[in-house]
Amino acid sequence: AAGVIQSPRHLIKEKRETATLKCYPIPRHDTVYWYQQGPGQDPQFLISFYEKMQSDKGSIPDRFSAQQFSDYHSELNMSSLELGDSALYFCASSMGQGNTEAFFGQGTRLTVV
Amino acid sequence: AQSVAQPEDQVNVAEGNPLTVKCTYSVSGNPYLFWYVQYPNRGLQFLLKYITGDNLVKGSYGFEAEFNKSQTSFHLKKPSALVSDSALYFCAVRGPPTYNNNDMRFGAGTRLTVKP
């Protein structure tokens, strides 16, 4: 079965650079979520989209922005990168919201040097 | 806002023994509760969820969880642990659907180690 696809899998950037992470949800899923997981930490909710509109916002820094496109894929744009942004970034998708489970991608490991 | 707590950082069990990974929640209204498992360098995999109905929920790989409203708990259980069950387990909660309520809150995770 098709899963959530994230690209790239690994990314190394220098401080103050920008990065773009991409997420392709499971076909027919209309909701996308972004999470950040630091080393040894639980996933922290960043932002979500339902039907291409932002549906909820968590602890996403102002330096980050995201959007969901007409084909339901989503991109997380990160600017002025800091060392503390080094983490595993997960995208998840679901069909609808509320009581539906989210399916996670493999994650993008971002390292800021 | 909704939250979950996993009181144990680490759970160790012997293969073949029953296992329990604990989770308690805090939410206004009826919760939507989830368990996910994470293997090294992998994304979170959905195990099971409680939405409504029977308090005992059965999920993937022989896992089950019991919803207890009076104790606000949703403990993950398995009658007979396997070495391959060793992983990081996350409990998660969503509140009842309201506008702008997609925030799935995760617990800190419990590392389960099953020894042969």
pLDDT tens, residue by residue, B37-51: 998 877 889 999 998
Q: Are β-strands B10-14 and A108-112 bridged in parallel, bridged antiparallel, or unpaired? A: unpaired
Supply the pLDDT for residue B38.
92
> What's residue B87's pLDDT?
95
User: Burial letters for B78-88: b for 16+ Cβ neighbours within 10 Å, e otherwise?
Assistant: beebeeebbbb
Domain count across chain B: 1
User: Do residue A101 and residue B49 have CB atoms under 8 angstroms apart?
Assistant: yes
Residue of A nearest to B107 (CA): A42
Alpha carbon distances (Å) from B87 to B46, B83, B90, B95:
13, 10, 10, 26
Cα torsion angle, B101, B32, A85, A93, sign: negative
Asked if B30 is an interface residue toward chain A (Cβ–Cβ < 8 A), one would say no
8 Å CB contact of B105 and A107: no
> Taking CB atoms and an 8 Å cutoff, what residues of chain A touch B107?
42
Query: Whole-angstrom Cα distance, residue B13 to residue B112?
Result: 8
What's the whole-number mean pLDDT along residues B57-85?
95
> Distance between CA B63 and CA B85 in Å, rounded?
10
pLDDT over threshold 90, residue A105: yes
Residue B15's domain comprises 3-115
The mean predicted confidence, pLDDT, of chain B is 90
Interface residue B78 vs chain A (CB under 8 A):
no
Tens of pLDDT, residues A17-42: 999 999 999 999 989 999 999 988 88
Structural domain span for residue A37: 5-112
Domain CATH for B77? 2.60.40.10
| Closest of A1, A18, A21 to residue A9, by C-alpha | A21
The closest CB to that of B43, out of A31, A44, A107, belongs to A107
A58, with CB counted inside 10 A (0-12, 13-18, 19+), is middle
Question: Tell me, what CATH number does A19's domain have?
Answer: 2.60.40.10
CB contact, 8 Å: B42 with chain A? yes
Total number of domains in chain A: 1
Min Cα–Cα distance to chain B from A39, Å: 11
Can you give the pLDDT at residue B96? 67
- Give per-residue pLDDT as tens, A39-71: 888 889 899 998 999 988 888 999 999 999 999
pLDDT of residue B101 exceeding 80, the answer is no
Q: Per the CB < 8 Å rule, is A104 touching B43?
A: yes
Using 50, 70 and 90 to split pLDDT, how confident is the model at B97? Answer: low
